[in-house]
């Protein structure tokens, strides 16, 4: 099995803080770690004391829509 994220040249780790936005916690993602697009749907999971954020798998309809553009 191929380890996840092997396509990245390096794994970057930066510090940031949570803040409140209404009833939700919000985290600022530094520009160095941000995705190029702002329409990326993500999945968030808690593993122990870590929060992991990754792109959500695209549906076939979503892929077809992007190809049509």
pLDDT digits (tens, 9 = 90+) for 42-55: 999 999 999 899 88
Return the pLDDT at 29: 86
The predicted structure's pLDDT at residue 1 = 42
24 vs 36: CA distance, rounded Å: 24
pLDDT digits (tens, 9 = 90+) for 2-57: 445 545 556 667 888 889 999 998 888 888 888 888 888 899 999 999 989 988 88
pLDDT at 48: 95
| Nearest-angstrom CA–CA distance, 17 and 28 | 7
């Amino acid at each position: 099995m191929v380890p996840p994220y092997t396509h990245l040249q390096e794994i970057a780790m930066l510090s940031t803080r949570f803040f409140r936005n209404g009833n939700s916690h919000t985290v600022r993602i530094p520009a160095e770690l941000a995705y190029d697009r702002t329409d990326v749907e993500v999945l968030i999971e808690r593993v122990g004391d870590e929060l992991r954020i990754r792109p959500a798998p695209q549906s076939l309809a979503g892929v077809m829509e992007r190809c049509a553009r």
